[in-house]
Structures are given as C-alpha cells and as structure tokens.
Amino acid sequence: MTTVAAIDCGTNSIKLLVARVDDDAMHVLVRDSRVVRLGQGVDTTGELSEQALARTFAAVEEFAATIAEHDVPTERIRFCATSATRDSSNADVFVEGVRERIGVTPEVLSGDDEAELVFAGAMLGLQVEEPVLVVDIGGGSTELVLGDGGPDEATSMDIGSVRLHERHLHSDPPTAEEVAACVADIDHHLDVSDLEIELAHTIVGTSGTVKTIACAAMGLSGYDRSMFDGAVLSIADLRETCDRLVAMSVEQRKALPYMHPGRADVIGAGALIWSRVLSRASVDHARVSEADILYGIAASIAS
C-alpha cells in the first residue's frame, strides 16, 4: 500500500488529500481545504495578484507540514493547478513559490487533463448506469466529461463560480438582468461545447459548489460528507434549490449552516451553472460524489 499526497489548486480553493492507495481501495488519511481565491481578478487583469498569491502560499505551507507529518516522500506528491494559473501571465511566480515551499513543481493542467482526472476520481468504486456525465464546477472553469467505461468526450469551459460572479453578478442580491446575462453566458458555452448532456444515463456532480447545493437541497444542519456523499437527488429539487440560493443576499447565505464563508458570495454563479447543466439532462436525478479530482490525482500517483 502506497501513501500519496494530492493537491488541487483551483481558482477559489486549494485542497489536499493524503491517502493510502492499493489496487482495490483508497483509504483517506487527511482531507483538507482552504478558500484562497487565487483567481481573484484574473478574468479582468490576466494575472495573479500579490494578495492572492500570499493567501495561497500560506495554505501551501500548512499542507507541506501535514504531508511531512505523514512521511510522504516527494516522489509521491502531485500538485496540480487549474484554471486560474492557466489564464495568468505571471504563473511562473506561483510555480516557483510552490516549489520553494513543498519541494515539487506544480503542474498547470490543460483543460483536457483536468477533465480526465475529474472523471477518474468521480468514478472510483462507483457502479452506475452508463454513459455517465461527470460535472465539476470550479471557480474559473467547469469540466464536463461523458464516458462509458472511461472518458469518451470532455470539455473544459472557461466559466466558473468566481469568474462568472465577477463578470455578471455585481448586485447583492443579483438583479434579474444580471442573472439573465449570466445564464446567457453559461448557455452560450454549453451550446458551443458540442457535448451532448442528454446522452447521459447518470449524472455525477463533484466540487464544493455541487456539494453545498446538495446540503441545501437535503436541508442538512451542516456540511456533512457522510450525508451527501452518494446522495441521489431529483433534478427538480436541485434546480429549485439553485434558484433559492441565487436570490439570497450574501449575508443570508453566510447564515446557512453548511455554507463556507469563502463560498457565500460566488455560490450564486455556481448554482446557475449547475442548474443550466441539469436543465439539459434527459434523466430525473443526479448523484453527488465526494470523490473528485483529488481522488483522480491520488490514483495517478500510485499507478
């Protein structure tokens, strides 16, 4: 059995998974995350800000200490960075800062690489009717992967909760006109993606956005992974929940017991993405999975 450390650094959050992996199972030792908003302003400025880099490097230092506590060798650490660093002109500053703090060079994943790891992670140990559509809504991009026995089609769209919030949803709560503009942006990206969502017999959603919406739909008293992992929820209920979250103010969202304060401002944009994807489904239910891109990264280290 191999002990590995997987790190996923996205536009809004950075996540760590330390696990023991063998041929048949993944035994999670540590799962941790920080909302660092690395991609704040990237859609406008094209670069990572000094403040965002400082927040992210602080989290990396904490993760490095956790990895050291579990004696994970450097060759069993994989650090993957996604949308924000793909789109920034000063990604080299980020790369060097990570290398200094954790001893490995972060890989800036292409959209296709990210989609493949998302699918691999979500499908670990999952027995469902195929084809399966895996949906991962990040801060800067959204991955859609359709597969039967493996990923067959994938698209990485440059729309995510942070990017669309900054682009469209300026009022608190957002106005009807802002919501309509955001929806039009999402629908445009879905239209040009050429991925046929309606072909999926099963839809699996991962990422913090999807899991938070699941908590809301289930009426949970907190962010309880044991309750939402594997949950099968009606698409009608999920879309109604998305509408409810979009209409709330940031302070109302922060008062929800399952809402991370660092997600409260951008969950509206994420909810609109999830709702528009689900609106094109030919099935009545969607599944929520705790296993996400981190699990795909961890499995890739051990293989």
Contacts for 106 with CB less than 8 Å, ≥ 6 apart: 7, 9, 79, 80, 81, 85, 94, 95, 98, 99
**Domain boundary residue among 111, 137, 157?**
111
CATH number, domain containing residue 51 = 3.30.420.40
Answer yes or no: do 148 and 102 share one domain: no
What confidence category does residue 24 fall into, taking pLDDT thresholds of 50, 70 and 90?
low
| Together in a domain, 98 and 170 | no
Whole-number Å distance between alpha carbons of 23 and 25:
6
Asked if residue 144 belongs to a domain, the reply is yes
Domain contains 32? yes
Residue 133's Cα: distance from chain center in Å? Answer: 15
CATH number, domain containing residue 184: 3.30.420.150
154 and 45 fall within a common domain: no
Is residue 205 pLDDT above 80, yes or no? yes
Is residue 119 a part of any domain in this protein?
Answer: no
pTM: 0.91
Are residues 136 and 102 part of one domain? no
Average pLDDT, the chain: 94
pLDDT (average), residues 259-278: 97
- Shared domain for 157 and 287, answered yes or no, is yes
Q: Mean pLDDT, to the nearest integer, of 12-17?
A: 94
Question: 110-167, pLDDT tens digit by residue?
Answer: 878 888 899 999 998 788 999 999 999 999 999 999 999 888 999 989 999 999 999 9
Burial class from Cβ neighbours inside 10 Å (0-12, 13-18, 19+) for residue 203 reads buried
* Span 27-83, pLDDT tens digits: 999 999 999 999 898 888 999 999 999 999 999 999 999 999 999 999 999 999 976
Number of domains in the chain: 2
Q: Range of 39's domain?
A: 2-111
Q: Do 160 and 92 belong to one domain?
A: no
Contact by Cβ (8 Å): 289, 205: yes
